[in-house]
Amino acid sequence: MASDPAPLSARDLSERDLPGQDLPGQDLPEQGDPPAAADPTLADLPADVSPVWVRALGLAARAIGLSEPNPRVGCVLTDRDGRLLGQGFTQQAGGPHAEVMALRDAQRRGESVNGATAWVTLEPCAHHGRTPPCCDALIAAGLGAVRAASIDPFGAVAGEGLARLRAAGLDVRLAPEPGVRAAALALNPGFFSRVVRGRPWVRMKVAVSLDGRTALPNGASQWITGPQARHDGHAFRRRAGAVLTGVGTVIDDDPRLDVRGWPGTVQPIRVVVDSSLRTPATARLLAPPGQVWVAHAQGADAASAGAAAAADALRQAGALLLPVPAPGGKTDLAALLQALARRGVNELHVEAGEKLNASFLRAGLVDELLVYQAPRLLGAGAALAALGPWDSLAQAMTFELTDHRRVGDDLRLRLLRPGALAPLEQAMLAP
């Protein structure tokens, strides 16, 4: 088997300018900028990640807030000596994928890609969707090798892209470095979750005091954390295909739940869990841009003349009404997640009150906790989640701490539900 071409050196990465991409607003920064700095939600890359993969992963990060519901993918093309020929990242749904953008970039530079190697953060697609198969584009361009960070678990691909590349005579391998695979999954947990588990990746974000309070007894909560933490939190909203809250939060706080302070062309969908259609038609989150979906109990929009009028008012305000099962008047959250996945939601960002948070946690539906903790004590007030009371510490819910760092005056914690990543990691290696 042929040996890998020489990877890009740090000098290659720091001294060559990155071109702009085709679509407006997607100019890339100077090559010397840290590639992964495009989005602070990515964990620090391990030392075993080579510069060419750092570049490809950094490019993929630039598809955050752009490519939904498609996965975030980056592609770098190098020659046999490891010289950079072209690069790109996935554009809006229906637009070019990363591999095609990289080929266009090489052509714009006047570079030949005959015999070149493509380093791509997800297996090139093998099906006709809204765009032609990327594996065919790489074959037609005369590439000699493809290095992929992961199998694409989507049923129409699932190893077929790599198989077709091999059948065409290309040297094809999956990245052996665990750090590359981990970073590739960190970019697309929602896409893998939607395809593998049939539901979005659920991230619950909370801002708490040292004593775990999210609001005072009178409901006041603005602001527990500082401006840097709030800005950082918007980066995680930007990752999400949808931001979810409960109708109680809408009535009490009237939030916007949009993304502010970060670049992006796609606002996440705002989802309100509202079984009896109490969302005011004047709520701020109904204002454009972006879509609003109100998840209500099946039949609630026709339960009475008042409910029908409320439903009509919400529709006229631009909301989509999404009926879901609600046995005993409680929204079936698992069914809601499946409905969101069917509509292309990859990552779901939950910002809700203590009751809805507790419902998600008790149902085992929270994959990740994002906690911003302020250095202040509030005393009595609302909790992160209305759980318990329990009789034994053995009943406590346990999460795995994966990252902690200071953000302004506050502490940011990221925690995972044990085992949440296991089925997704397995799907990265085997179709």
> Residue 276 to residues 33, 250, 292, 354: CA-CA distances in angstroms?
50, 14, 16, 19
- Which stretch of DSSP H or E encloses residue 109? helix 98-109
Domain boundaries, given as residue ranges, for the chain: 10-187, 196-429
- Reading phi first (left if > 0) and then psi (alpha if -120 to 50, else beta), residue 201 is in beta
CATH 3.40.430.10 assigned to domain 196-429? The reply is yes
- Helix then strand then coil, % of the chain, to nearest 5: 30, 20, 50
- Which stretch of DSSP H or E encloses residue 311? helix 305-316
**Active-site annotation holder among 99, 123, 347, 368:** 99
> How large a percentage of the chain has pLDDT more than 90?
71
CA distance 38 to 59: 8
Q: Which string of DSSP letters, residue by residue, matches 332-361?
A: -HHHHHHHHHHTT--EEEE---HHHHHHHH
pTM: 0.88
Q: Is the pLDDT of residue 9 over 70?
A: no
CA distance 57 to 184: 7
Q: Is the pLDDT of residue 232 over 50?
A: yes
Whether 99 is catalytic: yes
Locate 114 and state its tokens: 């005959």
Q: Is the pLDDT of residue 254 over 90?
A: yes
**10-187 fold:** Cytidine Deaminase; domain 2 (3.40.140)
Chain mean pLDDT for the chain:
87
Tell me: the pLDDT tens digits for 320-342?
999 999 998 899 999 999 999 99
Tell me: the pLDDT tens digits for 113-164?
999 999 999 999 886 677 788 999 999 999 999 999 999 998 777 788 999 9
Tell me: the pLDDT tens digits for 31-81?
333 334 446 666 677 777 889 999 999 999 999 989 999 999 999 999 999
Locate 147 and state its tokens: 């290095």
